[in-house]
Amino acid sequence: MPPPIARTYVVDGNLKALGYEQVTGLTAAKTLTIPTGARVVALQAQDQDIRWRDDGTDPTATVGMILIAGDRPFLYNGNDLTALSFFEAAATAILNVTYYS
């Protein structure tokens, strides 16, 4: 088996961190608690995969874009962070979020 690949995570140096949130209890669709001025979020699924949508419709366990648990953070910089909603693809999923301006 080949050795694991080392990964480097880079956040744009022009961004300012505004805060962090950990979202649990994703058995129902949830939205984020967005700090004033946030325009970009780094999203990472922990323990289980998470589904997300940003079109005003809630995701389900089988419908929506997927964040793979343990994968490197996904940077989202859409026009309306309030439109993001999340749902666990399997029980015990945790969503880690860092906010940037």
Given a contact cutoff of 8 angstroms between Cβ atoms, the answer to whether 82 and 88 are in contact is no
Tens of pLDDT, residues 12-29: 678 999 999 999 999 999
Burial 41-50 (b: 16+ CB within 10 A, else e): bbbbbeebbb
Query: What CATH number is attached to the domain comprising 69?
Result: 2.60.120
Decide if 88 is inside a domain: yes
pTM over 0.85: yes
Residue 86 belongs to some domain of the structure: yes
pLDDT at 4 over 60: no
Residue-wise pLDDT for 49-98, tens only, equals 999 999 999 999 999 999 999 999 999 998 899 999 999 999 999 999 99
**Partners of 52 in the β-ladder:** 65, 86
Half-sphere exposure of 8 (CA within 13 A, CB side): 2
Whether 10 maps to a domain, the answer reads: no
The structure tokens listed for 21 are 């949130």
In-domain check, residue 3: no
* Rounded CA separation 59/81 (Å): 15
Q: What is the count of structural domains for the chain?
A: 1
Domain extent for 61? 17-100
Which residues does residue 86 pair with via DSSP β-bridges, in sequence order?
30, 52
Structure-token pair, residue 101: 């301006």
